Structure 1
């Protein structure tokens, strides 16, 4: 059965329900039925237009009520999670100030134009941006979505730490590697451009190819493989040939202790069977329901993991470009995290009490 067949059945059912609701004679019913059979497409458009007009006229009232419900929910969520959420937001501000202060401190100096400084500060800034996205999802009650974004934050934080602890050559390799991936991405885009957007022109693809050849001639064998830019810095930890993996970088910078959390967060990124199974949003109530909106459960993991990743990235940046206040700043960040860990436990316990009371 194809889509058109299913559409005919659906519309026939609609027609029958309309006819049955009217006081019609058999002759009138026969006329209507024949009209439907002969004018199927026209009537289908008429029914669709009618339904569209009804929904369009009611959407403002419907959404007004929906937005009001969501606003009240967010108020209740914030009552419970206010303390750790505010601490996370404060941490984000501190991390933002750290990179801003560093760039202002070195404004006009030769350091500002080095590849390492440029890559390190841009990566740390992206950590802050992703952290703010996580915060926004947490305030809205989307713990699973926040944890999915933490996966990106973890990757970015590990890369930030790797670049910060490396030298100028590593940062240059990281920057140059875009010339390897750019051509592949452009060709794939043109090949699968089914929506018919503007394609990459031939002359631009030629330039990408020339840039790629130039970079490959600059570096050793296997540079064009996955994470080829990291191979030299990884040294004996790198596979002798073939592609490297993110786990190689993750382990090298000492963040593999978050591997299990990273693997767990993957289920909220991909569309595997696990993505419709266990959810942070129902982790406390353990309700078997089709969660399609926000929940005030499960915020512990994304809050704590986001805090850890932000601090690792920011401390790596501070250590790479230290000043007289660096040790104090780093100690403060870790103290902030220790207090946050207790605050999320307290908030979760308070939510559990409310849940018991309601039950």
Structure 2
């Protein structure tokens, strides 16, 4: 019986794949030294070219960390009807602080496409904060409860499918019972979606449909309009390509020029991501700080000043990246 070419090739693969993989591993160790030097060179170039902008990035990071610590402590210590609002805004602010640092790290390392995806996350945090800060504390509790319900559902589904997970089965059953009670509490009768669905926390804010019998489903673009952040919609659409790696996102990330591809870090596009990041942080800080207290008490005064200072740093950062970009363009024209 004559052995087919594909069968012969499969035998070659079975015989050669492991030694070839070991050879690649050895070569990669050698390449790591060269790549580390190249990556350091790229980071140095990005750092020097946008030096003033990175100073303000660090300033905003420091300010939001310090402010976040104050917000979290206040949320832990204060116990009144406004507590759900403090907790929700403190958590959103803290998450934004982390994401902003991720953006900085990715941009400085030359991974602008990843930074675009993280900006999309930052934008969603800002939109959520703005909407929640405008409502009463019971609505903030909806947001917090929605997070518990959604996370419980995800953990439970994974455990059911794979028989394992980070939370033990007994604890999951308790969480699931709590989640069901929260769903019954928060489900809106004429809402087309369940409370646990995407943006289910925002269902009561939605308008009625054309027939007038149901609320329209909460979607992110509707939340953007409600938060007056829809001027960034086209940036969000572009960012989705990098978040989901759709066809456009793949091309944008890999094809850096007509004759070159990006298979690693690049010096391109930090200002295109940094500027929206600073802009979004300003909106988010305003919402989390100004909506934090129900009255103009001493903490509101302190955190208001701290928030205004962080917003000023973000404005300076935006301008610094603008000025660096204009200066670089002028140098290119002169050369």
TM-score (structure 2 length as normaliser): 0.80
Partner of 2:137: 168
Shift of 1:85: 1.9
Gaps of 5+ in 2: none
1:265 aligns with 2:239: yes
Contact 1:134 1:149 in 2 (8 A): yes
Partner of 1:343: 320
> CA separation in 1, counterparts of 2:304 and 2:165?
51
CA-to-partner distance for each residue in 1:4-53, whole Å, 9 max, x for gaps?
965744x7xxxxxxxxxxxxxxxxxxxxxxxxxxxx46x943x3343344
CA-to-partner distance for each residue in 1:227-269, whole Å, 9 max, x for gaps?
232223x264889336311222222222111111111111101
1:227 to 177, 199, 205: 199
Partner of 2:180: 213
Shift of 1:331: 4.4
Q: 1:206 to 1:66 in 2, by over 3 A?
A: closer
Q: 1:122 to 1:228 in 2, by over 3 A?
A: same
> CA separation in 1, counterparts of 2:58 and 2:51?
10
Q: 1:264 to 1:217 in 2, by over 3 A?
A: same
Q: Secondary structure of 2:244's partner?
A: coil
Q: CA RMSD in A?
A: 3.4
Q: 1:141 to 1:109 in 2, by over 3 A?
A: same
Partner of 2:78: 109
> CA separation in 1, counterparts of 2:245 and 2:7?
28
2:68 to 99, 119, 132: 99
Would you say how many aligned residue pairs link Structure 1 and Structure 2? 318
> CA separation in 2, counterparts of 1:199 and 1:62?
36
Contact 2:281 2:311 in 1 (8 A): no
2:36 to 62, 67, 72: 67
Gaps of 5+ in 1: 12-39
Shift of 1:91: 1.1
Structure having the higher Rg? 1
